[in-house]
Amino acid sequence: MTRSVLSIGDLSASEIGAVLDLALESKRRSGPRGSELAGKTALLIFQKPSLRTRVSFELAVSNLGGRPLYLSPPEVGIGERESPEDVGSVAGRYCDLIVCRTFDQTVLERLAASSGVPVINALSDWEHPCQALADVLTIREHGGTSGRCLAYVGDGNNVARSLAAAAAGEGMHVRLASPAGYELDASSVEDAALRARESGGSVSTMSDPEEAVFGADVVYTDTWTSMGQELETKQRHEAFVGYQVDVNLVAKASPDAGVMHCLPAHRGEEISDEVLDGPQSIVLDQAENRLHAQQALMAWLFG
């Protein structure tokens, strides 16, 4: 069966658990790498810039014995030069896996429907599921997930959507604080809450960052202006006043709380330098875990 991961909802909580167990096991094990992608080619189609996702996917594919082939934003022109269906059906003749970073989530769905090979979402405007896998892996390593509190402060965006569902599925108490007009949509909150009900976690939304962060074990933020939203920068800066994760806000969290950010960070906007570079920041472990989580995801999909 061709299994795609277009959103975090494509993986049940127990499947996420299995992928993360695999990631932890492979991190612990040194020595020979996997061979799940031996003789296979993964096409990486990126319509937006990337450091972490591109590098970690290329390395993860190689580590599993496969060959990564990267296409940069101007090269393919999905929906401009060719339809997603035409790109998908041709790519499926050459490659065994498509990893795609795009704007519209429907592009991923159309690629997956036409290509006949698994498609992995490497970030869309709607979701960032591979980021969420790495995030939950990182929280597991820094004190654990189940029963602990994750406060997300900022835009109810792609990162928040995937993270809320993944963390809720691991039994975390997820609090989301966003200004009016920038909240995570009600249906995504409900999807996360559904997972929480099964795992013993919870999901709550609020507008006050201090209420969200109070006593939290993990404090998470992301940019106020995501890729593709650059024209909204000014109005977003106005809307997000008071939402910076700075030392005063982090002081409201548990004294040993970890601070997370998917990166790239807009220093001095959603997070202060002092916090990002400070002793509670675990952003580099988080960035490293992109490699381990994605490698485990592909090993699981092809194993």
Residue among 52, 142, 290, 292 flagged as catalytic: 290
Residue 138 contact partner, candidates ligand CP, ligand NVA, none, CB within 5 to 8 A by sort of partner: none
Residue 194 contact partner, candidates ligand NVA, ligand CP, none, CB within 5 to 8 A by sort of partner: none
Q: Let me know if 267 is a catalytic residue.
A: no
Structure tokens that stand for 108 in this block: 């991923």
Quick one: which of 12, 29, 51, 200 contacts ligand CP (CB under 6 A)?
51
223 is a site residue for ligand NVA (CB under 6 A): yes
Q: Let me know if 142 is a catalytic residue.
A: no
Q: Let me know if 262 is a catalytic residue.
A: yes
Contacts of 198 (CB under 8 A, 6+ apart): 13, 169
Minimal CB distance to ligand NVA: which residue? 226
State the burial class of residue 35 (Cβ atoms within 10 Å of its Cβ: 0-12, 13-18, 19+): middle
Contacts of 141 (CB under 8 A, 6+ apart): 24, 285, 289
Which CB, 24 or 227, lies closer to ligand NVA? 227
Q: Smallest distance, Å, CB 83 to ligand CP? A: 25
Contacts of 207 (CB under 8 A, 6+ apart): 177, 178, 179, 180
Residue with the two structure tokens 């013993």: 200
The CA distance from 92 to 3, in Å, is 14
From residue 147 to residue 186, what is the string marking binding to ligand NVA with x (rule CB under 6 A)?
----------xxx---------------------------
Dihedral angle sign, alpha carbons of residues 103, 109, 114, 116 = positive
Q: Between the CA of residue 246 and those of 15, 30, 261, 279, what are the distances in Å?
A: 35, 38, 13, 13
* Span interacting with ligand CP, options 14-22, 49-57, 113-121, 138-146, rule CB under 6 A: 49-57
Which CB, 35 or 229, lies closer to ligand NVA? 229
Omega of the bond leading into 49 within 30 degrees of 0 (cis): no
Following DSSP, what letter does each residue of 225-288 receive, concatenated?
S-TT-GGGHHHHHHHTTT--B-HHHHTTS-TT-EEEE-S---BTTTB-HHHHTSTTB-HHHHHH
Quick one: which of 56, 226, 254, 295 contacts ligand NVA (CB under 6 A)?
226
Which CB, 122 or 165, lies closer to ligand CP? 122
Residue 157 contact partner, candidates ligand NVA, ligand CP, none, CB within 5 to 8 A by sort of partner: ligand NVA
Quick one: which of 18, 227, 239, 301 contacts ligand NVA (CB under 6 A)?
227
Give the length of the chain.
Answer: 303
Interacting residues with ligand NVA (CB under 6 A): 123, 157-159, 222-223, 226-227, 262
Interacting residues with ligand CP (CB under 6 A): 50-53, 123, 131, 262-264
Q: State the catalytic residues.
A: 101, 128, 131, 222, 262, 290
